[in-house]
Amino acid sequence: MSIINMNKMEKIYTLALFSRNRAGILNRITSVFSRIKLNIDSLNVSETESPGVFRYSIKVHTTEKLIRRLTKQLEKQVDVIKAVFATDEYIVQQEIALYKIPTAVMLDEIKTESIIRDHNARIITMHRDYTIIEKTGHKHETQDLFDALEPYGIMEFVRSGPISISKLKTQFPELKYGSKK
């Protein structure tokens, strides 16, 4: 199969992996990706509502066949409770972005305040030398604000990458009790 045909079969998948908080688990998880030569587009790790359980939100661009194989391999890892994947239509996702711009721009350019308001962003802190702005939304929304602020001078920028939650009713009641599979 040619590379062109293979790329048409690829989609963006979000992998939700639930694990215990143990040293070395992230390394074991990423080594599975390395073995099958699959790049991680974004990765976010956070605690869940269940004590001692952490959720990894991992975005990858791949085929359905490969994501199914990857999910099975990840579930075999020690301390991994469950691994599932979904496409964007089955999840709600957001990311957070922080922008540091010169405070002088905020004071001298009335337009910057309007840009912040029009993009539903908020000012987190103002310092004599810089102002930090926060925007939560989809990647294109955080990028749009970046593009609008760039002419005024962005000193620093960071984006979290997406975090996601299923649109479906929770399917893993065992996570509430911390049992293994």
**pLDDT tens-digit readout, 34-91:** 998 999 999 999 888 888 889 999 999 999 899 999 999 998 887 889 898 888 888 8
Residue 48: the pLDDT is 85
Q: What's the domain range around 126?
A: 92-163
Q: How confident is the model at residue 1 (pLDDT cuts 50, 70, 90)?
A: very low
* Closest listed residue to residue 29, CA positions, set 92, 81, 95: 81
Tokens found for residue 179: 């049992």
Residue at 159 is within a domain: yes
Residues 81 and 99 in one domain: no
What is the chain's mean pLDDT, rounded?
85
Residue 180: the pLDDT is 44
Domain with residue 138: its CATH number is 3.30.70.1150
Separation between Cα atoms, residue 108 and residue 110, nearest integer Å: 6
pLDDT above 90 coverage of the chain, percent: 51
Burial 28-60 (b: 16+ CB within 10 A, else e): ebeebbeeeebebebbbbeebebeebbbbbbbb
> Is the CB of residue 124 less than 8 Å from the CB of residue 133?
yes
Residue 9: the pLDDT is 83
Give me the amino acid identity at 169. K
Torsion on CA atoms 127, 131, 136, 138, rounded to nearest 10:
-150
Residue at 172 is within a domain: no
At residue 28, does pLDDT exceed 60? yes
pLDDT above 70 coverage of the chain, percent: 88
Give CA separation, 2 vs 9, 38, 39, 116, in Å.
11, 18, 20, 46
